[in-house]
Chain A
Amino acid sequence: MDFLNAETLLECCRKQNIPISGAMLARETSLGSCTKESVAERLEKAVQIMRDASHDPIENPKTSIGGLIGGEAQKVRRYAEANGSICGSSLTKAISYGMAVLEVNATMGLIVAAPTAGSAGVVPGVLLALQEEYELSDETLERGLLNAGAIGYILMRNASVSGAEAGCQAEVGAASAMAAGAAVEMLGGTPEMSFHAASLALSNLLGLVCDPIAGLVEAPCQSRNAIGVANAFTCAQLALSGVTHPVPFDEMAEAMYKVGRTLPFELRETAMGGNAGTPTGCALNCGKCK
Chain B
Amino acid sequence: MNFISLFDVIGPNMIGPSSSHTAGAVAIALLARKMFQEEVRKVTFTLYESFAKTYRGHGTDRALLGGTLGFSPDDRRIPDAFQIADELGVAYSFVADEETKTNHPNTVDILLENGEGHTLSVRGESIGGGKIKIVRINGIDVEFTGEYSTLIVKHTDKPGVIAYVTQCLSECAVNIAFMRVFREEKGAVAYAVVESDEEITDHVLEKIGKNQWIEEHMLIQM
Please report A residues at the B interface, Cβ cutoff 8 Å. Answer: 24, 27-28, 31-32, 39, 42-43, 45-46, 49, 64-66, 104-118, 120, 123, 145-146, 148-149, 152-153, 156-157, 161-162, 164, 178, 214-218, 288-289
Within the complex, the shortest CB–CB distance from B81 to chain A, in Å, comes to 10
* Given the contacts A108-B22, A289-B56, A117 and B10 also touching, CB distance less than 8 Å: no
Scoring B residues 42 to 67 as 1 if CB is less than 8 Å from chain A, else 0, what string do you get?
A: 00000000000110111100100000
Q: Across the interface, do A104 and B16 meet the contact criterion of CB distance under 8 Å?
A: yes
B70 at the interface (CB under 8 A from A): no
Q: How far is the CA of A115 from the CA of B12 in the complex (A)?
A: 9
Tell me the count of chain B residues lying within 8 A, CB to CB, of chain A: 34
Residues of B near A112 (CB, < 8 A) are: 10-14
Q: Across the interface, do A118 and B9 meet the contact criterion of CB distance under 8 Å?
A: no
Contact of A109 among B15, B54, B57, B128 (CB under 8 A): B15
Q: Across the interface, do B8 and A156 meet the contact criterion of CB distance under 8 Å?
A: yes
Q: Across the interface, do A116 and B16 meet the contact criterion of CB distance under 8 Å?
A: no
B121 at the interface (CB under 8 A from A): no
Please report B residues at the A interface, Cβ cutoff 8 Å. Answer: 1, 3-19, 22-23, 53-54, 56-59, 62, 74, 76, 78-79, 128-130
Residues of B near A111 (CB, < 8 A) are: 13-16
Contact of A106 among B16, B54, B56 (CB under 8 A): B16
* Given the contacts A28-B5, A215-B57, A217-B58, A114 and B16 also touching, CB distance less than 8 Å: no
Q: Across the interface, do A156 and B9 meet the contact criterion of CB distance under 8 Å?
A: yes
Q: How far is the CA of A19 from the CA of B62 in the complex (A)?
A: 42
* Given the contacts A108-B62, A148-B10, A117 and B18 also touching, CB distance less than 8 Å: yes
Residues of A near B59 (CB, < 8 A) are: 65, 108
Given contacts A104-B16, A161-B129, 4 further A-B contacts (CB under 8 A): A32-B5, A110-B74, A112-B13, A215-B57
Within the complex, the shortest CB–CB distance from B215 to chain A, in Å, comes to 35
Contact of B6 among A39, A45, A104, A116 (CB under 8 A): A39
Q: How far is the CA of A218 from the CA of B12 in the complex (A)?
A: 19
Q: How far is the CA of A28 from the CA of B6 in the complex (A)?
A: 7
Q: Across the interface, do A49 and B13 meet the contact criterion of CB distance under 8 Å?
A: yes
Q: Across the interface, do B13 and A114 meet the contact criterion of CB distance under 8 Å?
A: no
Q: How far is the CA of A114 from the CA of B1 in the complex (A)?
A: 21
Q: How far is the CA of A97 from the CA of B62 in the complex (A)?
A: 27
Residues of B near A39 (CB, < 8 A) are: 6
Q: How far is the CA of A216 from the CA of B58 in the complex (A)?
A: 7
Q: How far is the CA of A184 from the CA of B113 in the complex (A)?
A: 54
Q: Which 9 A-B pairs have the closest CB atoms?
A: A105-B16, A152-B9, A217-B17, A108-B79, A149-B6, A149-B9, A215-B54, A216-B57, A66-B57
